[in-house]
């Protein structure tokens, strides 16, 4: 009993002692740092981190009673040495690792950090593939290259360049950064024309060979994404190769600004070779703390404590230490103790070969990671806060320009507002707009001291003019052909290209090279393929834009709309004894005739009681009624209307008659003066279903279309090489060795028919296409020539060129192509007929109401007369009979009859 009574006391004492141990904060917390000390970034980062550790340990508001111990290891720019250094730091029980600055080393160490659950916070590894999904314990307090390349792509798009050449160091940092740039350019319909990788330890020979190869492409836009290089070797060689002139553009990522900031002021020779270079710098807002730290850094330089100027990565390194300190402080406040445990898998390995048994897993690593992700404070570099991808929230970039041996700020870029001359923190949220209309940068001085934006590419010069293939046609030479007496090439397409080239905002030397022997029309598919195979730089002529050609070359804006049509012999169908019936449809004739009958009846009803012309024997009244109605058509009627209702009906009727007769006259005139075309072929379907031979133009795409799309047997297709061959084949016909019809493009057909009267177009074009100029894939000239063609169309020059070549004897295409006349349908006049019917019916109703009222008054007078013999109650039939007798009487007679009883009584 005594034994069991003593046990609770022991347990209570143990719990108390354990709680006392766990409630005490650790005296020292180890934090590791891996960087390359002998580097541009490392020299600034080391001093900045040491200053930050000193400030943290001196600050009594953070880590109370706990000292931050800073343990460093030099990676010496080596993935292997960096990994070894990480193991050495982890053996010493660090709770977090700051760094590394190299993206390649970060990839390796992140795997180690994941295994031992130690957060890895980098201030300089910008590789966008260091993702939170693959490396959950990796964070960075610098901006990912995904943001930087978005800024670079926006800069390229802002100045209107379409393609660039990328120069990069061939490691994870360079390759993945340029891959991100490629993705961003693709979103903006831009592209990287060529990628030029450099060895990690590149030298002057490597740079010279690479730039010499790229010079063959002519002046271009270069994007340089390498590591900080104090010697500026790339630009030194570019200057020697005359590649820093006004025709070139050089854009640099933030490696250049880091180098310039670290060695400020740079030597005059270094800044001289950078004349006109535009670069990016991570944006850090101005603040009192930042200015104080910059002043402090100057004192450290004077005292020999720092060996380089402060750069943005130094500011990031300083803030990183504070971010880690804040997270450790929050962790200690909640959990007090920091513990490590051995990994069972590491213990199973043979410790005699590899000393892995000393590595321990940080038990609170996941919790410390959560505290880091919750970090939010304002540091020297701006707001320190992590996004969902565990990158620091992007603060934007400065756009810098080197001019006259100085670094000039030309603007700012942020992911929300784009380019602006104001810092991102000074732009109100409602002013944010990524539209080009609101984008603005200050004036930039380009290489060579030019203030005018370089074009950024050059496709030809006087020594290497643009080679343009032109079809040497044997027929329809009005479009393009070579003159026999000299080497000159002329035609509508040639003149059009020359006029369009004048509107291109730069000079493009070129020379025409004829394609074909001139005795037969060349194959246009072969001509387009030669452009794709770079035998020609472009092709100019009557080249149809069809699917199989657009797959291999780029076409300009179509300058002519065309399509395949059918040409066949026709006969004149205007001579006919019954041609006068064609203007109206059957329904129109029926309704018009019924209207005449209706008007005749209504006018008789309205005029019979008051107009002597509409009285007399029934036969005479019937003749008068219809003669009056039909004579209104010729305005020869002798009878006139007397009643107001009759005159109202006649006004409406005559208005309808005027419109109908005018339309009839116009339609009949058109039918009698315009040739109507007819043929036993009604369209492409009837032609395909027949067995008749079909002609096509030699070299045209019509052959492949007819065989591949319409599946017409090749044996039915006959090649024709000239308009004379067209005429001869159509005259012979399908039974005498000719063709039943010819299928060709509308533009050729219109030119052919302008000189022929016995042939015509059957139906409408059954394909839609256009003519354009062919260029190599992604040629910038294709876009600029398209713009020039649109300008020619807008200012009327395109029509003038067409009239110059094809309208000497009247423009082709003005012939009416419809096979049947445009008849007048009832639907075009139903409104008028409806209006006339409403007025006529209304007049009859009003007449009947007035007549009934008059009849009733008459009957009352007759019944009230003493001498009247009319019974007071008459049968219905007697009333109706009396009413019709009343209507048949003349109105004056009725009035006399109504007044006689009254007078006799009086």
Q: Which two tokens stand for residue 91?
A: 């053996």
In a domain, 443, yes or no: no
Range 186-193 average pLDDT: 90
In the prediction, which pLDDT does 638 show?
56
Cα 573 to Cα 430, 674, 817: the distances in Å are 71, 10, 14
What's the CATH number where 100 sits?
3.40.50.2300
In a domain, 869, yes or no: no
Q: Is residue 492 located within the same domain as residue 533?
A: yes
What's the CATH number where 725 sits?
3.40.190.10
Q: Is residue 71 located within the same domain as residue 90?
A: yes
Q: Is residue 658 located within the same domain as residue 760?
A: no
In the prediction, which pLDDT does 582 show?
76
Among 752, 767, 782, identify where a domain stops.
767
Name the E strands within 106-181: 120-122, 138-140, 163-169
Read off the pLDDT of residues 222-255 as tens digits, 9 standing for 90 and up.
Answer: 999 999 988 899 999 999 999 998 889 999 999 9
Using pLDDT thresholds of 50, 70 and 90, give the confidence band for residue 729: very high
pLDDT over threshold 80, residue 868: no
Using pLDDT thresholds of 50, 70 and 90, give the confidence band for residue 353: very low
223 Cβ partners below 8 Å, 6+ apart? 152, 156, 164, 165, 166, 167, 178, 181, 192, 251, 252, 253
- Total length of the chain: 906
DSSP 126: -
In the prediction, which pLDDT does 818 show?
40
Q: Is residue 626 located within the same domain as residue 724?
A: no
Give Dmax (Cα) for the chain. Answer: 157
In the prediction, which pLDDT does 603 show?
79
Of 547, 540, 546, whose CA–CA distance to 563 is shortest? 546
On whether the CB atoms of residues 698 and 720 are closer than 8 A, the answer is yes
In the prediction, which pLDDT does 417 show?
84
> What's the half-sphere exposure (Cβ side, CA atoms, 13 Å) at 291?
3
Using pLDDT thresholds of 50, 70 and 90, give the confidence band for residue 883: low
In a domain, 166, yes or no: yes
Q: Is residue 508 located within the same domain as residue 602?
A: no
Q: Which two tokens stand for residue 893?
A: 């007679």
In the prediction, which pLDDT does 10 show?
38
User: What SS3 state is found at 511?
Assistant: strand
Read off the pLDDT of residues 247-261 as tens digits, 9 standing for 90 and up.
Answer: 899 999 999 999 999
Read off the pLDDT of residues 770-820 as tens digits, 9 standing for 90 and up.
Answer: 999 999 987 878 888 999 999 998 888 888 888 888 775 556 555 444 434
Rounded distance, CA 820 to CA 674, Å? 11
Q: Which two tokens stand for residue 841?
A: 């019916």
Read off the pLDDT of residues 58-111 as tens digits, 9 standing for 90 and up.
Answer: 998 898 888 999 999 999 888 898 889 888 998 888 999 998 999 999 999 999
Distance of CA 712 to the CA centre of its chain: 38
Rounded distance, CA 105 to CA 135, Å? 13
Edge-to-edge strands of the sheet including 418-420? 191-198, 163-169, 221-225, 249-252, 278-282, 397-403, 406-414, 418-420
Q: Is residue 129 located within the same domain as residue 160?
A: no
Secondary structure (DSSP) of 371-404:
HHHT-EEEETTEEEEB-TTSBBPP--EEEEEEET
In a domain, 496, yes or no: yes
In the prediction, which pLDDT does 841 show?
87
Q: Is residue 607 located within the same domain as residue 647?
A: yes
Mean pLDDT of the chain: 83
Comparison of pLDDT for 434 and 472, the residue scoring more: 472
In a domain, 434, yes or no: no
In a domain, 446, yes or no: no
In a domain, 614, yes or no: yes
Using pLDDT thresholds of 50, 70 and 90, give the confidence band for residue 309: very high
In the prediction, which pLDDT does 1 show?
38
Read off the pLDDT of residues 525-554 as tens digits, 9 standing for 90 and up.
Answer: 999 999 999 899 999 999 999 989 999 999
In the prediction, which pLDDT does 498 show?
92
Range 392-412 average pLDDT: 91
Q: Is residue 318 located within the same domain as residue 272?
A: no
pLDDT over threshold 60, residue 477: yes
Q: Domain range for residue 756?
A: 678-767
Range 860-870 average pLDDT: 61
In the prediction, which pLDDT does 415 show?
87
Q: Is residue 644 located within the same domain as residue 719?
A: no
Cα 208–209–212 angle (5° rounding)?
A: 80
Q: Which two tokens stand for residue 173?
A: 């940092």
Q: Is residue 186 located within the same domain as residue 243?
A: yes
Q: How many domains, the chain?
A: 5
pLDDT over threshold 70, residue 676: no
Which of 117-131, 471-485, 649-663, 801-815 is the most confident on average?
117-131
In the prediction, which pLDDT does 905 show?
40
On whether the CB atoms of residues 815 and 760 are closer than 8 A, the answer is yes
Tell me the CA end-to-end span of the chain in Å, nearest whole number: 154
Range 467-475 average pLDDT: 91
Cα 581 to Cα 307, 481, 578, 589, 640: the distances in Å are 105, 51, 6, 9, 31
Read off the pLDDT of residues 555-577 as tens digits, 9 standing for 90 and up.
Answer: 999 998 888 999 988 765 555 67
In the prediction, which pLDDT does 356 show?
58
Among 617, 642, 673, identify where a domain stops.
673
Pairing of β 538-539 and β 774-775: antiparallel
Secondary structure (DSSP) of 678-703:
--S--SHHHHHHS---EEEETT-THH
Of 54, 52, 34, whose CA–CA distance to 317 is shortest? 52
pLDDT over threshold 80, residue 365: yes
Rounded distance, CA 189 to CA 180, Å? 14
In the prediction, which pLDDT does 311 show?
93
Read off the pLDDT of residues 498-534 as tens digits, 9 standing for 90 and up.
Answer: 999 988 877 788 999 999 888 888 999 999 999 999 8
Range 583-596 average pLDDT: 85
Q: Is residue 373 located within the same domain as residue 402?
A: no
Least confident range from 271-280, 476-485, 856-865, 868-877: namely 868-877
Rounded distance, CA 555 to CA 772, Å? 6
Of 9, 200, 210, whose CA–CA distance to 104 is shortest? 200
In the prediction, which pLDDT does 601 show?
83
Buried b (16+ CB within 10 A) or exposed e, 676-696: bbbbebeebebbeeeebbbbb
Q: Is residue 599 located within the same domain as residue 551?
A: no
Least confident range from 447-456, 702-711, 800-809: namely 800-809
Least confident range from 336-340, 380-384, 855-859: namely 855-859
In the prediction, which pLDDT does 263 show?
85
In a domain, 454, yes or no: no
pLDDT over threshold 70, residue 867: no
Rounded distance, CA 284 to CA 225, Å? 21
Among 807, 827, 855, identify where a domain stops.
807
Rounded distance, CA 834 to CA 832, Å? 5
Using pLDDT thresholds of 50, 70 and 90, give the confidence band for residue 743: very high
On whether the CB atoms of residues 700 and 563 are closer than 8 A, the answer is no
In the prediction, which pLDDT does 8 show?
40
């Amino acid at each position: 009993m005594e034994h069991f009574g003593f046990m609770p006391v022991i347990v209570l004492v143990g719990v108390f002692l354990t709680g006392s141990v766990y409630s005490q904060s650790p005296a020292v917390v180890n934090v590791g740092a891996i960087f390359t000390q002998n580097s541009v970034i490392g020299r600034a980062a080391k001093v900045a981190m040491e200053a930050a550790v000193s400030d943290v340990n001196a600050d009594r508001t953070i880590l109370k009673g706990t000292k931050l111990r800073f343990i460093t290891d030099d990676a010496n720019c080596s993935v292997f040495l960096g990994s070894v250094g990480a193991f050495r730091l982890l053996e010493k029980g660090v709770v977090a690792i700051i760094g590394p600055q190299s993206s390649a080393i970060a990839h390796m160490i992140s795997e180690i950090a994941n295994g031992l659950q130690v957060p890895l916070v980098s201030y300089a590894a910008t590789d966008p593939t260091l993702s939170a999904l693959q490396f959950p314990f990796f964070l960075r307090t610098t901006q990912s290259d995904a943001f930087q390349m978005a800024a670079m792509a926006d800069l390229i798009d802002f100045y209107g360049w379409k393609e660039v050449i990328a120069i990069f160091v061939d490691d994870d940092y360079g390759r993945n950064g340029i891959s991100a740039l490629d993705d961003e350019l693709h979103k903006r319909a831009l592209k990287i024309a060529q990628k030029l990788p450099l060895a990690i330890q590149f030298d002057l020979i490597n740079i010279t060979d690479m730039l010499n190869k790229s010079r063959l492409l002519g002046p271009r836009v270069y994007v340089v994404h390498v590591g900080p290089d104090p010697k500026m070797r790339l630009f030194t060689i570019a200057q020697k190769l005359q590649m820093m002139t006004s025709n070139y553009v050089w854009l640099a990522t933030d490696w250049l600004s880091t180098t310039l900031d670290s060695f400020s002021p740079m030597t005059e020779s270094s800044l001289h070779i950078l004349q006109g270079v535009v670069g990016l710098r991570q944006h850090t807002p101005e603040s009192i703390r930042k200015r104080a730290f910059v002043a402090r850094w100057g004192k450290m330089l004077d005292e020999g404590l720092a060996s380089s100027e402060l750069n943005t990565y130094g500011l990031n390194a300083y803030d990183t230490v504070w971010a880690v300190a804040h997270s450790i402080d929050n962790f200690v406040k909640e959990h007090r103790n920091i513990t490590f445990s051995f990994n069972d898998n590491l213990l199973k390995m043979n410790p005699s070969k590899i000393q892995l048994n000393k590595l321990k897993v940080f038990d609170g690593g996941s919790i410390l990671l959560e505290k880091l992700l919750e970090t939010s404070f304002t540091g020297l570099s701006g707001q320190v806060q992590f996004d969902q991808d565990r990158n620091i929230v992007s603060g934007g970039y400065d756009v810098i320009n080197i001019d006259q041996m100085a670094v000039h700020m030309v603007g700012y870029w942020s992911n929300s507002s784009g380019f602006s001359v104001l810092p991102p923190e000074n732009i109100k949220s409602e002013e944010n707009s990524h539209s080009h209309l609101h984008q603005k940068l200050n004036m930039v001085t380009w290489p060579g001291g030019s203030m005018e934006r370089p074009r950024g590419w050059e496709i030809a010069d006087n020594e290497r003019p643009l080679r343009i293939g032109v079809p040497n046609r044997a027929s329809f030479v009005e479009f393009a052909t070579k003159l026999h007496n000299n080497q000159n090439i002329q035609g509508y397409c040639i003149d059009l290209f020359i006029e369009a080239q004048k509107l291109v905002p730069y000079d493009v030397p070129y020379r025409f090279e004829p394609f074909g022997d001139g005795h037969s029309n060349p194959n246009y598919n072969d001509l387009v393929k030669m452009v794709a195979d770079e035998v020609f730089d472009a092709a100019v002529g009557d080249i149809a834009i069809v699917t199989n050609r657009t797959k291999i070359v780029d076409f300009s804006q179509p300058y002519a709309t065309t399509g395949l049509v059918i040409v066949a012999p026709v006969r004149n169908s205007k001579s006919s004894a019954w041609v006068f019936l064609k203007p109206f449809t059957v329904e129109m004739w029926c309704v018009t005739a019924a209207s005449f009958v209706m008007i005749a009846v209504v006018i008789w009803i309205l005029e019979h009681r008051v107009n002597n012309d509409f009285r007399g024997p029934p036969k005479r009244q019937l003749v008068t009624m219809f003669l009056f109605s039909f004579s209104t058509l010729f305005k020869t009627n002798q009878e006139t209307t007397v009643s107001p209702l009759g005159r109202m009906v006649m006004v409406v009727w005559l208005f309808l008659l005027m419109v109908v007769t005018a339309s009839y006259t116009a339609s009949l005139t058109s039918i009698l003066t315009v040739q109507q075309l007819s043929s036993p072929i009604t369209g492409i379907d009837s032609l395909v279903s027949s067995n008749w031979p079909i002609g096509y133009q030699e070299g045209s795409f019509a052959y492949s279309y007819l065989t591949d799309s319409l599946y017409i047997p090749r044996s039915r297709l006959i090649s024709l090489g000239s308009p004379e061959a067209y005429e001869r084949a159509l005259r012979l016909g399908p039974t005498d060795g000719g063709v039943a019809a010819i299928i060709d493009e509308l533009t050729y057909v219109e030119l052919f028919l302008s000189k022929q009267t016995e042939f015509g177009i059957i139906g409408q074009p059954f394909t839609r296409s256009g003519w354009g100029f062919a260029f190599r894939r992604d040629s910038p000239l294709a876009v600029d020539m398209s713009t020039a063609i649109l300008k020619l169309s807008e200012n009327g020059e395109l029509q003038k060129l067409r009239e110059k070549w094809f309208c000497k004897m009247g423009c082709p295409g003005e012939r009416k192509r419809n096979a049947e006349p445009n008849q007048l349908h009832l639907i075009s006049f139903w409104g008028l007929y409806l209006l006339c019917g409403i007025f006529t019916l209304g007049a009859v109703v009003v007449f009947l109401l007035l007549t009934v009222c008059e009849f009733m008054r008459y009957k009352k007078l007759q019944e009230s007369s003493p001498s009247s013999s009319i019974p007071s109650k008459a049968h219905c039939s007697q009333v109706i009979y009396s009413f019709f007798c009343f209507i048949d009487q003349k109105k004056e007679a009725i009035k006399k009859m109504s007044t006689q009883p009254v007078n006799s009584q009086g």
